[in-house]
């Protein structure tokens, strides 16, 4: 299994959350930028030193509708505050949230695709792969999961044959059906756990488009892009993310269970994803998870058990020559 986090797309022009935190305020109106910086300052003052733009979006999502936020937090709320004001919908928070989303979507729609194609070509050929299925598909990397919104891995795989949970439906184009290739097929499977810049809800269906449709498409209402904002929301309970997470969990029980799991550029910040990894470790204590990212060894101490004991750090930056060499050396125990 190959699992790609934000760090996997950084070499190809897509910022990580830290990069977005630096860039986005500069693209906003002065009053909006000031609000973002104020929220970041307050978060750090409340003991969140690594607060980023996703943290800001989390705050704005709560501020947008405090009554909904109160229900989401539940009774534990009384341990932090004595009284929560009963406020109506906050338009200002909604507008700022929309501006931030617009910036993220615009940046994730662009990448240096020639560079990503070239590097993935090398990676899939030279990285440790073990058994290869018919057609040369490496068993380790047959199933590709990602929390990234961008299209770098999509573009690389498009000429190699892959299934991504979408199927053609007359009149709608490609519609999400939660069907991926069987693990025995000589075909790649791509699952985007947080959605994608080319996923849109049209007429109540999750569809793929090569362009951003307007407010309506062929007479059907376009609700908007299907992307998780932010990851701390209970996205795991809603379509299509629930089905994607189920497939992710189910993949640990496939024929490729014995293969190593290669995790690239993922910070282990998503509770739903971490829970899936943890349950897989409990079911199979011999599972091997190799985590490649800068400072992977140092970040190891931030992980909870059993992840801390089972994740093997590989200190390297994806997109470099050294990353492939380092991964090969660690996987083969050199």
Q: pLDDT (tens digit, 9 = 90+) per residue, 60-110?
A: 988 888 888 888 778 887 788 777 666 667 889 999 999 999 999 999 988
Give the residues across from 225 on adjacent strands. 200
- Residue 143 is predicted with a pLDDT of 92
Please check whether residue 20 is in contact with residue 52, taking contact to mean a CB–CB distance below 8 angstroms: yes
Comparing CA positions, the residue from 155, 187, 178, 190 lying closest to residue 3 is 190
Give the residue among 224, 220, 232, 175 at the shortest CA–CA distance from 200.
Answer: 224
Task: State the number of CA atoms in the 13 A half-sphere of 308 facing the CB.
Answer: 8
Same domain, 141 and 164: yes
- 113 vs 253, higher pLDDT: 113
Q: Which of 108, 138, 170 is the last residue of a domain?
A: 108
Please check whether residue 178 is in contact with residue 294, taking contact to mean a CB–CB distance below 8 angstroms: no
pLDDT at residue 88, as a whole number: 67
Note down the domain range covering 58: 17-108
Tell me the CA end-to-end span of the chain in Å, nearest whole number: 21
39-61 pLDDT tens trace: 999 999 999 998 999 999 999 98
- Residue 21, C-beta contacts closer than 8 angstroms, at least 6 positions apart: 40, 52, 53, 56
One domain for residues 152 and 206: yes
* CA 328 and chain centroid, separation: 25
Let me know whether 132 and 250 are in one domain: yes
CB atoms within 10 A of CB 114: 10
Residue 303 tokens read as: 């992980």
| pLDDT tens profile 147-187 | 999 999 999 998 888 999 999 988 778 999 999 987 666 68
> pLDDT value at position 181?
87
Q: Indicate if the pLDDT at residue 131 is higher than 70.
A: no
> Are residues 80 and 145 both part of a single domain?
no
Whether residues 101 and 150 fall in one domain? no
Residues in the chain: 334
What pLDDT digit, counting tens, does each position of 314-323 carry? 999 999 999 9
Q: How confident is the model over 258-296, as pLDDT tens digits?
A: 678 999 999 998 999 999 999 999 988 888 899 999 999
Q: How many domains does the chain have?
A: 2
Helix-strand-coil percent breakdown of the chain, rounded to 5? Answer: 45, 20, 35
pLDDT tens profile 197-238: 999 888 888 998 876 655 555 556 666 788 988 655 577 788
248 and 102 in a single domain? The answer is no
In this predicted structure, what is the pLDDT of residue 255? 47
Contact criterion met (CB below 8 Å) for 119 and 319: yes
Instruction: Assess whether 207 and 60 both reside in one domain.
Output: no
> Residue 9: which residues within 8 A CB-CB, separation 6 or more?
111, 116, 148, 150, 152, 265
Separation of alpha carbons 53 and 22, rounded Å: 9
Q: Do 64 and 147 have their domain in common?
A: no
Verify that 103 and 125 share a domain, yes or no. no
Residue listed under structure tokens 């299925």: 133
Res 306: pLDDT: 92
Point out the domain boundary residue: 60, 93, 108.
108
**No. of helices (H) and no. of strands (E), the chain:** 12, 13
Q: Are residues 199 and 275 in the same domain?
A: yes
Domain edge (last residue) among 108, 126, 149: 108
Q: Are residues 168 and 40 in the same domain?
A: no
Q: Give the mean model confidence (pLDDT) for residues 139-148.
A: 90
- Both 265 and 141 in one domain: the answer is yes
């Amino acid at each position: 299994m190959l699992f790609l986090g934000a760090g996997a797309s950084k070499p190809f022009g897509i910022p990580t959350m830290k990069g977005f935190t630096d860039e986005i305020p500069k693209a906003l109106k002065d009053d909006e930028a000031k609000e973002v910086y104020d929220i970041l300052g307050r978060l750090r003052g409340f003991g969140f030193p690594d607060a980023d733009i996703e943290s800001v979006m989390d705050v704005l999502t709560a501020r947008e509708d405090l009554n909904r936020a109160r229900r989401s937090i539940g009774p534990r709320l009384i341990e932090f505050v004595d009284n929560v004001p009963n406020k109506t919908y906050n338009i200002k928070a909604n507008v700022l949230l929309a501006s931030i989303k617009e910036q993220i979507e615009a940046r994730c729609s662009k990448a240096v695709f020639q560079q990503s194609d070239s590097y993935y070509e090398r990676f899939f050929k030279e990285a440790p792969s073990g058994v290869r299925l018919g057609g040369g598909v490496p068993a380790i990397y047959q199933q590709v999961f990602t929390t990234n919104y961008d299209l770098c891995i999509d573009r690389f795989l498009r000429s190699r044959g892959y299934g991504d949970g979408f199927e053609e439906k007359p009149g709608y184009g490609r519609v999400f059906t939660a069907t991926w290739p069987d693990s025995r097929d000589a075909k790649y499977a791509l699952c985007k756990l947080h959605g994608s810049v080319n996923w849109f809800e049209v007429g109540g269906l999750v569809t793929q488009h090569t362009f951003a449709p307007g407010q309506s498409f062929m007479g059907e209402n376009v609700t908007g892009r299907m992307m998780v904002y932010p990851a701390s929301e209970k996205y795991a309970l809603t379509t299509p993310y629930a089905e994607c997470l189920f497939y992710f969990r189910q993949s640990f029980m496939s024929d490729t269970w014995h293969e190593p799991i290669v995790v690239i550029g993922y910070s282990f910040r998503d509770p739903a994803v971490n829970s899936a990894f943890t349950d897989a470790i409990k079911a199979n204590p011999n599972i091997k998870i190799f985590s490649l990212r800068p400072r992977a060894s140092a970040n190891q101490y931030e992980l909870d058990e059993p992840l801390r004991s089972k994740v093997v750090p590989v200190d390297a930056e994806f997109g470099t020559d050294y990353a492939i060499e380092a991964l090969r050396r660690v996987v083969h125990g050199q």
